[in-house]
Every structure is written in C-alpha cells, then in structure tokens.
Amino acid sequence: MTRIASVQRVAMRHPGDVAAVAALLDTGLDPRSIVAILGKTEGNGCVNDFTRAYAVQALCVMLATRLGSTVDEVAARVAMVMSGGTEGGLSPHFIVVSVSETQVPPTGALAIGTAFTRDFAPEEIGRRAQVEATATAVRAAIDDAAIDDVHYVQVKCPLLTSERIAQARAPVATTDTYASMGLSRGASALGVAVALGEVAGVTDDAIGADTSLYSGVASCSAGVELTRNEVVVFGNSHAWAGDLRIAHAVMQDGIDLPAIHAALRGAGLDPGGGQLAPDQAARLVALLAKAEPSSTGRIRGNRHIMNDDSDINATRHARALVGGVAAAATGCTDLFISGGAEHQGPDGGGPVAVIARR
C-alpha cells in the first residue's frame, strides 16, 4: 500500500466553530486518517489568547464523539496547531491534514510526518533541552514519512505563565511571560535547524539572541494549551502518491513578493507578474508563512514603527503586513500567516510554503 496525503482548507465563523470540519467527515473523510489540524484563530496571538485553546477543545470534543474515544486520546494523537491573530484582511480558517493508504503506485507527492516531544519542565522552555527534543522529533517525523525534501516544519510549542514559573524547580529562561513565547518559538526553530543540518549546534545564550542562526523551513507558534512540542513536517517523497506538491522560499523581509512568487511557481502555479488567475487560485491548497518585524526598525532603508507601537503588538502588525502581501499574490485571504519568527528565516523575514494540486 502507498500513503497519500490530503490537505483541506475550511472556514470558521468563530474559534469554536468546527462545523466545516465536521462537514468533511460527513462527506467521507475518515476521522481516523486525520494527523494534524492547523488553525488561524481571531485572537490577539499573545499569552492570553485563549481562542487557540477554545478551538483545540472544540475540535477534540467533536473528533472524540466521531471516533468513540476520549478528548485526551484525540489530543494525544492529533497535532493541533492553532495560531492566533487574523489581523488586516486575514480570514480565520482550519487546515485539515490527513494521511491514508491507496493501492495506487507511488508517483512522488506531498508527504507528511508528525511527531511529539515529551512534556517540558518550565525551566526547559526556551533552552537547549527544547532544541534537542525538537530535533529528535523532527528526525523521527521525517524518517517515518520517508520524506526526501523538507519544505515546511510546523511546530506548536508551549510558553511560560506565572503559574508555570512558580512551579519551576530551577531558574527559568525568562520571567516575562510574553518573552517566553519568543524563546520557545526560537528554541523550537533551532531544533528544526539542527535536525536538518542548517545549524551545527546551539547554546542557551544564542537562543533569541543570535539572528544569524535560523531555519529556512521552520514555523513555530507558542500557546498556553500544551506543555510539549507538536511537530508536523511537510515535504515531498518518491514513496507517496497523490496530486499534491509543496514548495517553499524564504522571504527576506515583509514585502518580499518575489519570494512568494517563487514558492507559488515551485508548487506548479503561475502567478505571472502579479496575482494568481482564478484557475490557478483554485489549485492553491494552502499558503503558510511566518511574519516578523525586523529588529533594525527598517524595511529596505525606510523606518517602520512596529516595534515601537505601545498599543498594538509588533507581531500583530507583521501578520497584517505579510498577510496583505500574500493575499495580493494569491487573491485569497484564508492564509496561514503566523507571527513571531525568531530563528525562522532571516531577521525581518521568514519562510513561505505553498501546497498546490498539480
């Protein structure tokens, strides 16, 4: 038997609305085949963004009912990657990822592997222990899926809350709960980089500090709803069948439209010199990207105020900016644009991946 991946993008009316996912099951998707669900929810994307946990709970309850299992059993098996923040014109949505078997011979196609780390102690978040455990999980996911070339690694990782800091048995990486999100994302991204040979080694001091160390395919999102890392590796494999393919590029800054065009072309779509034509957009299955304001406070020499705005968090600005550029390139607004790109692409930039039907 040959493995085949399915990726389906559906809308949500609010973070707890799983009706569109349930409709996929009603029309033939086997709930046992679901290995991951990615979601863009309309919260603030910060520490207290409980839209992520709300969406995870709603999904787990619905799937547990369909599977005749418990919520905990679903949560243990399915990677739930909720990314808060749909600023600008971004549309809340879910991306349902499933893997099944077919008798069709392998043709070379999209391949997906998942893996989970152990739960982290509070003092391990944002440190080498998280890097090393993530690297191990990434390697396991790649090996299990027989992936030939990796194009995107989505990681959901934990953060520190006041309660978790109080429970720590050793000093934590930071007592600033918001800063812990960046350190957790950064450590997870560097774990991807180590697994793929993009970075040779990492010290605790480099995490969140040395921007020259990064992965060109990592996308990491932190949340309160878990204490482990959940890893989803997207790539292509000669051993898989299907009509889906993935490609990626690395944006050098938030307005790097040519990089988005390169990812679209790599996946077999033709953006021409501007926006996808309707027939091309119909073949777009998903676009996933990271967004990050540059630490220099400039984009191509011009000053930006994303890091200086005390009213709106910088990552919210960045999601809106990159979301607008990606929407203009694709003609779509239900795009998985995730903020906070520490060690995920160069400073101010980030990876962008495209999954499309051939």
Cite the DSSP H helix spans in the chain: 19-26, 51-67, 71-77, 128-145, 162-167, 177-195, 257-266, 278-281, 314-330
Residue 39 annotated in ligand binding: no
Residue 266 annotated in ligand binding: no
Residue 92 annotated in ligand binding: no
Residue 344 annotated in ligand binding: yes
Residue 98 annotated in ligand binding: no
Count of residues in the chain: 358
Residue 42 annotated in ligand binding: no
- Pair 55, 41: CB distance under 8 Å: yes
Strand ranges across the sheet with 109-116: 109-116, 230-237, 149-158, 218-223
Residue 348 annotated in ligand binding: no
Q: Which residue in the list 221, 237, 290, 294 is annotated as catalytic?
A: 221
Structure tokens at 89: 């014109």
Residue 180 annotated in ligand binding: no
Residue 84 annotated in ligand binding: yes
Q: Which residue in the list 6, 40, 156, 237 is annotated as catalytic?
A: 156
- Pair 264, 318: CB distance under 8 Å: no
- Pair 288, 219: CB distance under 8 Å: yes
Q: Is 212 annotated in the active site?
A: no
Residue 338 annotated in ligand binding: yes
What b/e sequence results for 315-333 when a residue is b if at least 16 CB atoms lie within 10 Å of its CB, and e otherwise? bbbbbbbbbbbbbebbebb
Residue 128 annotated in ligand binding: no
Q: List Cα–Cα distances, 5 to 22, 101, 140, 327, in angstroms.
A: 19, 9, 18, 25
Residue 66 annotated in ligand binding: no
Residue 91 annotated in ligand binding: no
Residue 349 annotated in ligand binding: yes
DSSP β-bridge partners for residue 356: 245, 284
Q: Is 40 annotated in the active site?
A: no
Residue written as tokens 């893996």?
115
Tell how strand 284-291 and strand 336-339 pair up.
Answer: parallel
Q: Would you name the residues annotated as active-site residues?
A: 156, 221
Annotated binding site: 52, 83-84, 185, 221-222, 292, 319, 338-339, 341, 344-346, 349
Binding-site sequence positions for substrate: 52, 83-84, 185, 221-222, 319, 338-339
Residue numbering of the annotated binding site for Mg(2+): 292, 341, 344-346, 349
